[in-house]
Amino acid sequence: MKSLSLPIAFLFAFTTNAADKPTHSAITPEPRGGNWGKRHESFNQRVAQGNVDLIFIGDSITHAWESTGKNVWTEYYAKRNAVNLGIGGDRTQHVLWRLDNGNIKNIDPKVAVVMIGTNNSADGRNTAEEMIDGVTEIVDKLRAKLPKTEILLLDIFPRGQRINAQRGKILQVNQVLSKLNARQHVTFLRIGHNFVGSDGRIAKDIMPDFLHLTPKGYAIWAKAIEPTLARLMGE
C-alpha cells in the first residue's frame, strides 16, 4: 500500500490553539430530531440512576453493541456497569451537543471509550483537519467534564471493501489523532487494522456493508481493547 504522509502545514494546524481556528460544523454542537432525541433522553435517564463505571461514546457502530454485538457486550461489559451512549448517524457535532446536555451529567466513570468521526468523513461534509478538530473537541470536553475519567480513544475504523479516498482520509485523521496519546488521562489505541486482511480488503463476515460490524467484528473489537481497557479500569 502506498504510504500516506501529511503535509507539514496540516500537522502544524493540529498544534495550534483551537480558539484560533475558524468555526465549522464538526466543532459546533448540534442536536438532531426524531427518534434521536428520544434516545438521547433515555441516556440522560440512565446516567441519572448512577452506577456507571464505563461508557462507550459513538455512532451506529457503537449503537449496535445493543443488537449485533449484544452477546459480546454481555460477556465483556455487563458486569462492568457499562452504558452505551452510541447513536446511529451521529457526527462529532452531535456528540458534542449530547455531552453538553446531560449524557454525562453527575457521573464519574472509570473509563470512556470513544470511537467517532466516520460520518464526518463523506465528501462535502468535513475536511480531514475539521474531523481532527471535532474529535479533539470531544476529548477536550470529556477531560473538562470528567477530569478523573480515563479516555480510551480508538482510531476511526476503516470503511470500504478496498483502500479508497475515504479510507485514506480516515487514515490521515487517525495519524494525527494518535498524538492525543501524549495528553494526561488519554490513551489512543489503533485497532482498525484488525478488521482488514493482508490484501487490504475488509471481509464481509466482519463488515457485511464494509462499515458496520457483524458479531465476529464485535468480538474482534472487544478482544483488541481488552488488555488496555482492563488496565485503565484498574482491574
* Residue 205 is a catalytic residue: no
Nearest to 44 by CA among 106, 88, 114: 106
C-alpha cell at 38: 428520544
Contact 156, 170 (CB under 8 A): yes
Other Cβ atoms less than 10 A from the Cβ of 11: the count is: 14
Q: What share of the chain is helix, strand, coil (3-state, %, to 5)?
A: 50, 10, 40
* Residue 40 is a catalytic residue: no
Residue with cell 485503565: 232
Q: Say how far apart CA 183 and CA 234 lie, in whole Å.
A: 19
Q: What is the three-class DSSP state of 202?
A: strand
* Residue 90 is a catalytic residue: no
Catalytic residue among 40, 63, 94, 212: 212
Residue with cell 498544534: 15
Q: Say how far apart CA 204 and CA 98 lie, in whole Å.
A: 32
C-alpha cell at 9: 502545514
Catalytic residue among 60, 100, 140, 178: 60
Dihedral through CA 190, CA 127, CA 204, CA 36, nearest 10? 100
Q: Which residues of 200-231 are buried (b: 16+ CB within 10 A; e: fewer)?
A: eebbeebbeebebbbeebbbbbbebbeebbee
Report the catalytic residues.
60, 209, 212
